[in-house]
Amino acid sequence: MSDSIYLRQLEIGPMANYVYLIGDRETRECMVVDPAWDIDAILETLDADDMKLTGALITHYHPDHIGGHLFGQDIPGVTDLLEKRPVKVFMHKEEAPYVKKTLGLESSDFVPVDGETTVDIGKLPVRMIHTPGHTPGSMCFMVDGNLVSGDTLFIGACGRVDLPGSNPEDLYHSLDTKLKKLPSDTVLYPGHNYAADRTSTIGRELETNPYMRFDSVEQFLGVMGF
């Protein structure tokens, strides 16, 4: 990791979600990945670190990542963030309709993007990697040798594919053609704290994560129960 990157992993909420702050230490600009559960705590953290929020990046539309109604409760998220700090919110174009429906919100601050585009935070380029499967417009973010993977890839596991909009074949192909091809020393920052460790590497997952070791879609689908 270079000296100029600011990267913080915050565990917030009852579902062990990880919220990430990614920034450029030189320009002090910063974006939040998947703002949810406790917007004040997120903003207090970046304020205390003297970072300025310039945007939000969405891995996928599920309410534990962006806020909304889930299991009879209203989870704070993007809507509350925009009330406090109006910033651009980047999401994959295929995820945008789901994000709007989950939040019950249409905003001119929403910026739908393609996979394989780049969003700059200060002088720090963040590569958007479209990884459909868990949801149609799931994205991972690659920045300076670090992969923020949302619910696509966990340490020792991968995202569920039995939810509305999930597609197990797509997830297999996202892992096989995109994440498995990343440099092995890429540091993995998953969307939930579901493992003993808080981070891993692509190389370690290639050796130990069964979902990264299948070499056919049939094998993958069999283990996933399809």
Residues forming the site for Zn ion (CB under 5 A): 62, 151
Rounded least distance, CB 121 to Zn ion, Å: 23
Rounded least distance, CB 163 to Zn ion, Å: 7
Q: 23: which strand partners?
A: 6, 30
Rounded least distance, CB 146 to Zn ion, Å: 20
Rounded least distance, CB 159 to Zn ion, Å: 6
Residue whose CB is less far from Zn ion, 53 or 56: 56
What φ, ψ does residue 174 adopt, rounded to 5°?
-65, -45
Q: 70: which strand partners?
A: 73
- Report the number of secondary-structure helices (H) and strands (E) in the chain: 7, 16
Residue whose CB is less far from Zn ion, 5 or 89: 89
Residue whose CB is less far from Zn ion, 26 or 74: 74
Residue whose CB is less far from Zn ion, 62 or 178: 62
